[in-house]
Structure 1
Amino acid sequence: MSDPSILVIASVAESIKIARDFARGWLEAEGVERAAVGVALLVVSELVTNAYRHGSAPGEMISVRLYLSDAGPVVEVRDSGDSEPRPRPLTPDSFTGRGLAIVAELTAAWGFHRLASGGKAVYAVLNGARHGAP
């Protein structure tokens, strides 16, 4: 596992784009294939949006951590919320609340753990082939 690259942002709507831009730069620097970068950015957007909408109060800090694991690139989003993230079923008539179900479909694995300092970390192992990888 590599040391994480960490971005700390405020819980405001504009931070979602900042997190995506941060992730894009990291993924490209790590040699993740272009098609996988697009999917990874959707995952980052969903996790940061959930932290902003459900896991933190306005202006509180959210952290985004990106690192390489043996299983692949990992994105981890930390917030101060105590609620357990749960995916809702994907249905044709639902317009909101599908973010974690989408994350589950697009990643190798996802989950969360509670932090000793309070709050939680939601993570996703990305399906990101690296250039030159077997």
Structure 2
Amino acid sequence: MDFAIIPEAAVPSPPAATDKFTGGVWQADILPATHPGGMRGNRFTYAPGARSHWHIHTGEQALIVLSGRGLLQWEGLDEPRELAHGDWIHVEPGIPHWHGATADSTFVHLAITATGETHWLNPA
């Protein structure tokens, strides 16, 4: 059995792909998948008002809010839900959703994706 310890200082945080996010977003790929569709972990940092495009996960995902205030919107919800430091979110597979920062706050979260892939849709 192998273990990996990833020092925070060793993880770059380049700008996220502009075809998947709107506004200033930085993505740190902390735990890359070691096999196709396997578990992965990322840290996302959003500038105020920045957000992901709508997307769907084919496997389960957990979001853990590290700092700031964010928003989460999923299909069928009238208004986005506000997220704050310490919140955990269980993202069910197959549900279109987006997440990002409120207009007046930065927002940082971890995304731990258990299995599967992400299918990107339209901007939020």
TM-score bracket for the superposition, by shorter chain length: 0.3 to 0.5
Choose between structure 1 and 2 for higher RCO, CA contacts under 8 A separated by at least 6 residues: 2
More strand by share: 2
More helix by share: 1
TM-score by length of 1: 0.34
TM-score by length of 2: 0.36
